[in-house]
Amino acid sequence: MKISNETKVGALAIVGITLLILGFNFLKGNKLFSKSLVIYGTYENIEGLTASNPVIINGFQVGTVGKIEPDPDMRRIQVTFNINEDIRIPNNSIAVIAPNPLNITKVEIKLGNASDYLKNKDTINTVASEGLLDDVMKKVDPVLYQVNKSLGTLDSLISNVNSVVDQKAKRNISDLLANLNQVTASMVQSAASLQSMLAAETGSIAKTMNNVSSITGNMASNNAKISHVISNLDSATGKLAELDLQKTLNTLEGTIKELQAMTAKMNSGNGSIGLLLNDPSLYRNLASTGNKLNLLLDDIRMNPKRYLSISVFGKKKTAEPLMLPQPDTLNAPYIIVDKKNN
C-alpha cells in the first residue's frame, strides 16, 4: 500500500507537535508519565510567581507551579501546585512564596504536625512573603530609629554633664579620688597586717595539725581494740534483740492489771482487807476484842481457881475479877479502846 506524501507530512507534524508538548512539559519540571497530587493555594500577591516555578520542602524540590488564575476583581489569585504523588503533606502545612531577586521565585512548603494529610484537589494554607529588600528595610529601620534616638539622648546627657560639672564639682571629684587613694592604701596596709598575723599563727596551726595527726595515729594503732568493742556491742545488741521482750512485757502488763484490780477492790470495801481498810468500826471491834482477851489471859494466870473450881479443904474466897492488865503484861502490845466511840 502506497502512503501519500500528505499522510506522511501530517503524521510527522503530529509527532513533532507531541514531542514539542512533551519537551515543553519536561523543561517545566513536570513528570511526563506519572500522576501528580494537585493542590490549590490562594494569594493576594504572588510576587512574580509564574508557572513551572519550583515547589520545595526543606530545600528539596517536590513539584512545580501549575496554573495561575486570578479572580475577576484581581483581589485573589489561585495557584495550582503539582506535587509528586508519593509526597505526603500534613493538612496544617503552609505554602510560602519566597521571592529572590537574584533567582526565580519559588514556593516553600512549611510542614505542619497534623496526622491528616492533604488529598488531591485540597486547598493548602498560604502566606505571601514580602520582597527581600522590603524585609531587610523593615528590619533595619527600627534599628536606625533606635540608634538615632540613642545618639540624641547621649548628646543631651553630655550637655547636662557639662552644665553641672563646674569648678566646685571638679574639686569634689578630685577630693573623692584622693579619698579613694587613701582607702586603697589602708586596704594594702590591712592586707599586710593580716599576712603577718597569719605568719605568726602558722606555728600554732602546725602544732594543732600535729596533735590531730597524733590522735588519728592512736586511733589507727588501737584499731583492733576499737573493732573488738564494736563487735561486742554488736553481739550484745543481737542477744538483746533475740530476747522475747514482748512476752515479758505482756506478763508484766497482766500483773499490773491484776494489782490494779485488787487495789480497786480493796478501795471499794469488798472483802476482809477492804473492810479493815475502809470500816473503822470493824477495826475498833477487833481492838476491843484483843484487849478483852488480854484481860482474860491475865485473870486466868492470876486466879486459876476461879476457872478450875476444885477445892479439897473447902471453898475459898475468890478474888475480884481483873479490870486492868497486870504490870508484867503492860509491855505486851494491846490497844486501849475508847468506850465512848465503841
Got the DSSP string for 47-76? TT--TT-EEEETTEEEEEEEEEEE-TTSS-
What is the pLDDT tens value at each position of the chain, 342 positions in all?
677 777 878 888 888 888 887 776 666 555 555 678 999 999 998 888 888 899 999 999 999 999 999 988 888 999 999 999 899 999 999 999 987 767 788 999 999 999 999 999 999 999 876 554 455 555 666 776 677 777 777 777 767 666 655 666 667 777 888 888 888 888 888 888 777 777 766 667 777 877 888 888 888 888 888 888 888 888 877 776 666 677 778 888 889 988 888 887 777 766 666 666 676 777 778 778 888 888 888 878 887 777 766 555 555 555 566 566 655 555 555 444 444 444
**How many separate helices (H) and strands (E) can be counted in the chain?**
9, 8
Pairing of strands 94-98, 60-70: unpaired
pLDDT at residue 31 in the model: 58
pLDDT at residue 7 in the model: 81
Strand order in the sheet with 36-43: 122-123, 36-43, 77-84, 60-70, 54-57, 106-110, 94-98, 125-128
The one-character DSSP state at 128 is E
- The widest CA-to-CA distance across the chain, in whole angstroms, is 206
Query: Angle at CA 282, nearest 5°, toward 277 and 284?
Result: 105
Taking alpha carbons only, the member of 138, 140, 117 closest to residue 129 is 138
pLDDT at residue 99 in the model: 79
- Using CA atoms, how far apart are residues 322 and 334, in angstroms rounded to an integer? 16
Dihedral over Cα of 253, 257, 258, 263: its sign? positive
Domain ranges for the chain, please list them: 1-32, 34-132, 279-329
pLDDT at residue 142 in the model: 72
Q: Which residue has the cell 477487833?
A: 286
- Using CA atoms, how far apart are residues 100 and 108, in angstroms rounded to an integer? 12
Taking alpha carbons only, the member of 290, 276, 284 closest to residue 342 is 284
Joined grid coordinates for residue 48: 512574580
Dihedral over Cα of 139, 142, 145, 151: its sign? negative
pLDDT at residue 341 in the model: 46
Task: For residue 84, list its beta bridge partners.
Answer: 36
The one-character DSSP state at 327 is G
